[in-house]
Structure 1
Amino acid sequence: MTHYWFILYVALNALIVTLLALNVSRNRIRHRISNGDGGKLEMKAAIRAHGNAVEHVTVFGLVVLALEFASASATVLGALVLAFTVSRLMHAASMLTSAFNLRRAAAGLTYLAEVLGCLWLVVALLGLCFA
């Protein structure tokens, strides 16, 4: 079994998290803030955008890996990986630009991908238990 979707997931989402981390560092240098947010809204937004990405990307990565182990179809994996990755790009952009409606849509798509992935795992597990 090849793990193309997991590899693509890790590559794309690690890049997103890294770019968000670089944005935090850029803001720290720009505003001369070594710890915390220094009371700067831009710094707070950068920190939260990065933190939120880490929170969701890590857990969903485990879901994608488990789906690969459960031999989920490439169609299911592709749809979930692409939807989740697009949602994280949308969410990062919305956090950094204060686009609230985009953030709501991004959060909804993120949660949808996460819930569907988890449900797919439960169905796969039940199939293994009762096969």
Structure 2
Amino acid sequence: MTITPLYAGLLGLLLLVLSFRVSMQRRRHMVSLGDGGKPALQAAIRVQANFVEYVPLALILLVLLELSGQPPALLHALGAALFLGRVLHAQGLTSNPGGKSFGRLWGVLLTWLMLLAAALLLIVRAITGL
């Protein structure tokens, strides 16, 4: 296995960046627990939490696809979609904490499309053996 570890590593680094952003917002606003009603801190917390909600299952799906022998190009496309989706989501929600943005929309869509494609591929593989 070489493809999933690449994306797991990249996503691990991204989680560290997102966690650091939460810590810096906490320090800036002097809030140790909760969000203190600060929109920038609320956004940073949600970006990090959203990442943690989606990425673990997505990586499990990706590793199962890799173990099932799916083509490397497909695995890279799914991994890249997940990584780009998470970066776009973080950028979009950070730049516009209270509303809609290009990054937030496309970040969520890329993440969902990756999950959908990976899940369907695994279901087809399980049913048909392909």
TM-score, normalised with respect to structure 2: 0.93
Alpha-carbon shift at residue 119 of structure 1 (Å):
0.6
Where in structure 2 are the equivalents of 1:85-124 lying within 5 Å? 85-98=83-96, 100-124=101-125
Alpha-carbon shift at residue 84 of structure 1 (Å):
1.1
Q: What is the aligned length? A: 127
Select which of 33, 57, 63 maps to 2:55: 57
SS of equivalent residue, structure 1 residue 87: helix
In structure 2, what is the equivalent of residue 38 of structure 1? 36
SS of equivalent residue, structure 1 residue 33: coil
Unaligned regions of 5+ residues in structure 2, if any? none
Alpha-carbon shift at residue 54 of structure 1 (Å):
0.8
SS of equivalent residue, structure 1 residue 37: coil
User: For 1:47-99, what per-residue CA distance to the aligned partner results, in whole angstroms no more than 9, with x for missing partners?
Assistant: 00000011111110110111112111101101100111111110110011016
Alpha-carbon shift at residue 102 of structure 1 (Å):
2.3
In structure 1, what is the equivalent of residue 70 of structure 2? 72
Select which of 14, 22, 30 maps to 1:24: 22
Alpha-carbon shift at residue 117 of structure 1 (Å):
0.6
Unaligned regions of 5+ residues in structure 1, if any? none
SS of equivalent residue, structure 2 residue 92: helix
Calculate percent identity across the aligned residue pairs. Answer: 31
Alpha-carbon shift at residue 101 of structure 1 (Å):
2.7
State the alpha-carbon separation in 2 of the partners of residues 51 and 112 from structure 1.
19
Q: Give yes or no for contact 2:90–2:103 (8 Å, CA) kept in 1.
A: no
Root-mean-square deviation over aligned CA pairs: 1.2
Tell me which moved more, 87-96 or 100-109. 100-109
SS of equivalent residue, structure 1 residue 39: coil
User: For 1:10-43, what per-residue CA distance to the aligned partner results, in whole angstroms no more than 9, with x for missing partners?
Assistant: 1111111111001001111111101000010000
